[in-house]
Amino acid sequence: MAIEFELSKGMQTARDMARMFAETYVRPYALESDQLCGPHPKFIEACKQFRLGTGQLSGVDGVDAPKTPKPGKLRETNRMRLVAAEELAWGDATAALNMPGPGLGGPPVQFTGTPEQRERFMSVFKPDEYKFGAYALTEPDAGSDAKNLKTLCRKEGDVWVLNGSKIYITNGKRAEWTVVFATIDPALGRAGHRTFVVEKGTPGFSCPKVEKKMGLRASETAEQVFEECRVPAENLLGGEAHYEAKSKGGFKTAMKTFDATRPLVAVMAVGIARAAYEIARDWVQEHYALSQHTHRYHRLVDTLCEMEHDIRTARLLSYKAAYLLDRELPNAKESSMSKAYAGSMVQRVTSQAIELLGPEGVREHRLVEKLYRDQKVYDIFEGTGQIQRLVISRRLFANARD
């Protein structure tokens, strides 16, 4: 397999656009957005001004169906999303989550939805509007262990009836629609899973609570409740044929989504870590004479070197997973590797940044304190680090020569 470390012109353009947006409309308002517990009005204005209502800058939308590249040219859609997502996370980790569009709900609709469903649900998002989609898998007793779903669904005529609850759903209250995973019978395991698009205002669907969080405060995280929620049969994602006996269609939809989005989560962790590293590096340069030959100053330099090494390693792991996805090759192992490494890396790097700044590192007016709070969830959502290592180990032993 050829190795290419240079970004193409298209990827450079995506990176530069996202960097400009992050420097101008994201980073200046990061601390204030954290205090507001919501996106800054200037950020919302900019999204409308630049017609970003389909989330195309965020790298997490899944709006565009894969395009056939020109002969001899490799598709690079997923890598373009990665370079944009890193820049936005460098500005503020909540920026990609507050970018209007279908969010994590986009990939399953594109992967599994019928042509009519893709058109109907994706057309909700207009370039100059601030609307969202959502993705609801996590439950009080199911998240990383997706096969343990308790939200039930049953068919009644031309509707499906849902009962259960979902937690920690990004944009769960303000979403125009949510991709919801349920089961016809928990005893069937993965074979019983079904995937629905539940639209805002559907009878029996409510969002009783928005969470107060340690980090990512400017991003909305909500609880969703389904009480005899009646969903039209045409909202069963992929149609009945997708869920033939023992096909595990609903579970496969969730896992295929994760294979596409885990590298994005990993590269957002890279963006957070890079921001913390740059703050620490500039602080050390300003406050210490690194030319002095003492053990203390050598240790400062060694720590900065370790931080940059970790960041670059995590970035390359995420790029490899996205590269395979662009080539339409299996990437489950590489996707999990990028997510597992980046989740632990960002905790390590942000902690080191605080240590280098000393008492200044934990003050609320310092961005590095916010970065440390924001990073923790990157080892948790989209599958915990422990689950990622389980996925990796299964694939290592299934194909030892890989």
What are the catalytic residues? 382
The angle subtended at Cα 383 by Cα 377 and Cα 385, nearest 5°, is 70
**Interatomic CA distance for residues 208 and 223, integer angstroms:** 6
**Interatomic CA distance for residues 360 and 380, integer angstroms:** 27
- Of the candidates 193, 197, 191, the one whose C-alpha atom is nearest the C-alpha of residue 234 is 197
Q: Contact, 336 vs 391, CB < 8 A?
A: yes
- In the block, tokens 């039209």 appear at 232
- Of the candidates 121, 396, 95, 148, the one whose C-alpha atom is nearest the C-alpha of residue 272 is 95
DSSP 323-377: HHHHTT---HHHHHHHHHHHHHHHHHHHHHHHHHHGGGGGSTTSHHHHHHHHHGG
Q: Contact, 26 vs 18, CB < 8 A?
A: no
Q: In whole angstroms, what separates CA 275 from the centre of its chain? A: 18
Directed axis angle between helix 385-398 and helix 332-357, to 10°?
A: 140
Alpha helices in 113-219 (DSSP H): 115-122
What is the 8-class DSSP label of residue 209? E
- In the block, tokens 């720590």 appear at 303
Strand segments, DSSP code E, in 173-289 are 175-183, 193-199, 205-210, 221-232
